[in-house]
C-alpha cells in the first residue's frame, strides 16, 4: 500500500548533503518554504559531510597577504599535485585542480574576506 504526503513548498531540493542543506538555509532565510528530500535515511542526513575532515583549500587570500604568508595559484597547484598524488596523465583531475586554484581568488572575492 502506498501513501502520498503533500508538503507545501516553494522550492524542492533533491539531496541533503552540505550543498543541499546550505541552499535550504539560504532559501529559508529568504522567506521561502523549502522541501529537502534525500534518498538516504534521516539519521544519515548530511551526505558525505559527516565523514569530511574539515579541510579548506584557499589560495592567496587577503588574510594570508595580511599575515605575509606567500601563496599563489602555482604554489597551490604544486602542493595539490604532490599531496594529492595526482597522476599527471590524468588530465581531468589536473585540469580541475588547475581551474580551482586559479579561480579560487575570484570566488573568495565574491564571498567576502577570508
Ligand atoms: C573521507 C572524506 C573526507 C573529506 N574531507 C574533506 C575536507 O577535508 N575538505 C573538504 O572540503 N571536503 C572534504 N570531503 C569532500 C566533502 O565531504 C564533499 O565534497 C561534500 O560533502 C559533498 O557535498 P554535496 O552536498 O555536494 O554532496 P553529497 O555529500 O554527496 O550529498 C549528496 C546527497 O544527495 C543525496 N542523493 C543523491 N542522489 C539522490 C537522489 N536521486 N534523490 C535524493 N537524494 C539523492 C545523497 O543521499 C546525499 O545525501 C571529504 C569527503 C570524504 C568522503
Whether 108 has a pLDDT exceeding 70, the answer reads: no
Residue 84 has a pLDDT of 85
Q: pLDDT tens digits for 43-61?
A: 999 999 998 888 878 898 8
Q: Which of 45, 52, 104 to mutate to test the pocket of ligand 1 (most atoms within 8 A of CB)?
A: 52
Does the pLDDT of residue 76 top 90, yes or no?
Answer: yes
The number of the ligand 1 atom at minimal distance from the alpha carbon of 53 is: 8
The residue ranking higher by pLDDT, 57 or 34, is: 34
51 C-alpha to ligand 1 centroid (Å): 9
Give the confidence band of 70 by pLDDT, cuts at 50, 70, 90.
very high
* Contact yes or no for 37/14 (Cβ under 8 A): yes
* Ligand 1 atom nearest to CA at 55: 8
| Residue pLDDT, tens place only, 14-28 | 999 999 999 999 999
Determine the atom of ligand 1 nearest the C-alpha atom of 16: 49
The crossing angle, in degrees rounded to 10, of helices 73-83 and 91-111 is 130
Compute CA distances 32 → 9, 26, 37, 93, whole Å.
8, 9, 16, 37
- Kindly state the cell numbers that stand for 56: 579548506
Domain locations in the chain? 11-51, 62-111
pTM of the prediction? Answer: 0.75
Lining ligand 1 with CB less than 6 A are 14-20, 37-40, 47-49, 51-55
Amino acid at each position: 500500500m502506498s501513501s502520498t504526503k503533500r508538503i507545501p513548498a516553494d522550492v524542492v531540493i533533491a539531496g541533503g548533503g552540505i550543498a543541499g542543506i546550505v541552499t535550504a538555509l539560504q532559501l529559508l532565510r529568504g522567506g521561502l518554504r523549502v522541501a529537502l528530500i534525500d534518498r538516504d535515511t534521516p539519521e544519515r542526513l548530511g551526505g558525505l559531510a559527516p565523514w569530511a575532515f574539515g579541510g579548506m583549500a584557499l589560495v592567496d587570500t587577503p588574510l594570508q597577504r595580511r599575515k605575509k604568508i606567500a601563496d599563489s595559484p602555482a604554489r597551490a597547484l604544486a602542493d595539490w599535485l604532490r599531496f594529492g598524488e595526482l597522476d599527471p596523465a590524468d588530465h581531468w583531475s589536473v585540469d580541475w585542480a588547475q581551474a580551482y586554484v586559479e579561480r579560487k581568488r575570484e570566488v573568495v572575492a565574491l564571498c567576502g574576506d577570508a
